[in-house]
Structure 1
Amino acid sequence: MDAIVFDWDGTLVDTLPAITRANAAVLESYGLAFDPDAYRAAYSPDWQEMYVRLGIDRVRMAEAGDRWLRAYAIEVDGARPMARAAEALERLADAGVAMGLVTAGDRSVVEEQLVTTGLGRFLPVRVCGGDLPVMKPHPAPLRKALAELGLAGVPERTAYIGDAQDDMRMARTVGARGVGIVSMLGTREDLLAAGASDVVESVAHWVDAFLDAR
């Protein structure tokens, strides 16, 4: 494995509860009740598509995006790395494994969190929401990251680690190894059905096994 590309929210940083509360606030601002089961079923890193599924008119997406940014700024209390995530990335760096980031998160938000968490030094290649006209599960964001890592022609030598079913679908389409992280967005069964090769409890658990097997 020459390179590993990561998702951000729910994979490297513990921000999913704040994101969920912000999404609930946006729905409620449009008079739509927040239902956890419906939210999980509709969830996609492509937030515009998710909002349409949940009942927000597509013509109001710019407004909804602004409302989410305001709500998230209130809900998030700093981005904290997942347990042992920093240690795992440092071990990968020491082993000479190239790393990158593909996230649907807003670049202004993610870049600030990369600094405050200290994880940015491990992730020089970054593709964020809005960088391309399409988002996950479309393969373009991951293909862009692999091209910047110099591995566009050999996706089978790379892995993508994420916690959403669409993360696994993107990895499968590109030809990278999909590693699923169990979270509120997807069970082990959900992630395997979406194409995950491995499903683990955390990035740290997978990195331990990966490096021990090298």
Structure 2
Amino acid sequence: MNMDTILFDLDGTLIDTNELIIASFQHTFKHYGMAITREQTIEFIGPPLNESFASLVPAEQVAAMIDTYREHNLLHHDDYVTAFPHVVETIKQLKEHGLKLGIVTTKRFQSVEKGVKLTALEPFFDVTITLDDVTHAKPHPEPVIMAMKRLGAQRESTLMVGDNSHDIEAGQHAGVQTAAVAWSLKGREKMLEYNPTYILDDIRDLLTIIGV
């Protein structure tokens, strides 16, 4: 069956929020009197915030740290965030070709809305599934399955694209094809370890895969 639906992670896949995320984590840990390395923060890119903070601090401190993180992240969002090269024109071409497009992210809706508006991606997506919409975040398949239901998509003709193990695993658990992006901060070789169906060295590789 031909591919007719593509679901995308947002941060690190379509838009470059990496430095914003790193700065927000470093700000938050500093605020609470803790030091964190850049390498540690890179490991936090992808999973939900509560999971990342809970791995390092007591459970009762997590909620306050998430609030501090989000405050910094939203305040400085527009200073950092841009679309990755060729993303906007590629998404536009896919949309014009008739593909159903969705965003599946572990971010809250407020942050997602800022990102897609700032990068002019907002008009192209038929559905957006955020942390606010689900009980279980990626790598659980719930967000991917929810997006497919809303789009009327079939597993055999759906592709999940992302820059993190959570994205690839969520797609695999949902029974769809997957594509890992080589521009992930994790690096191309690390992304290949997750056994995606495809590896994208350039977002325009999607046009070849789909046959646009």
TM-score by length of 1: 0.89
Question: What is the alpha-carbon distance in structure 2 between the residues aligned to residue 115 and residue 39 of structure 1?
Answer: 26
Cα offset for 1:138? 1.1
Residue 103 (structure 1) aligns with: 105
Matches within 5 A, 1:142-161: 142-151=144-153, 154-161=154-161
Question: What is the alpha-carbon distance in structure 2 between the residues aligned to residue 59 and residue 183 of structure 1?
Answer: 35
Residue 3 (structure 1) aligns with: 5
What is the percentage of aligned positions where both structures have the same residue? 24
Aligned CA-pair RMSD: 1.8
Question: Given the alignment of the two structures, is residue 123 of structure 1 paired with residue 122 of structure 2, yes or no?
Answer: no
Residue 202 (structure 2) aligns with: 202
Residue 59 (structure 1) aligns with: 60
Equivalent residue letter for 2:188: R
Tell me the number of residue pairs that the alignment of Structure 1 and Structure 2 aligns: 209
Deviations 1:78-106 (A, max 9, x none): 53211111110111111111100001112
Match of 1:33 among 32, 35, 38: 35
Equivalent residue letter for 1:87: E
SS in 2 for 1:203: coil
Question: Given the alignment of the two structures, is residue 75 of structure 1 paired with residue 71 of structure 2, yes or no?
Answer: no
Question: What is the alpha-carbon distance in structure 2 between the residues aligned to residue 185 and residue 18 of structure 1?
Answer: 13
- Uncovered stretches (5+) of structure 1, i.e. residues with no partner: none
Question: What is the alpha-carbon distance in structure 2 between the residues aligned to residue 36 and residue 195 of structure 1?
Answer: 26
Deviations 1:27-52 (A, max 9, x none): 22222221233333455422211112
SS in 2 for 1:26: helix
Q: 1:193 to 1:81 in 2, by over 3 A?
A: same
Residue 190 (structure 1) aligns with: 190
Residue 20 (structure 1) aligns with: 22
- Uncovered stretches (5+) of structure 2, i.e. residues with no partner: none
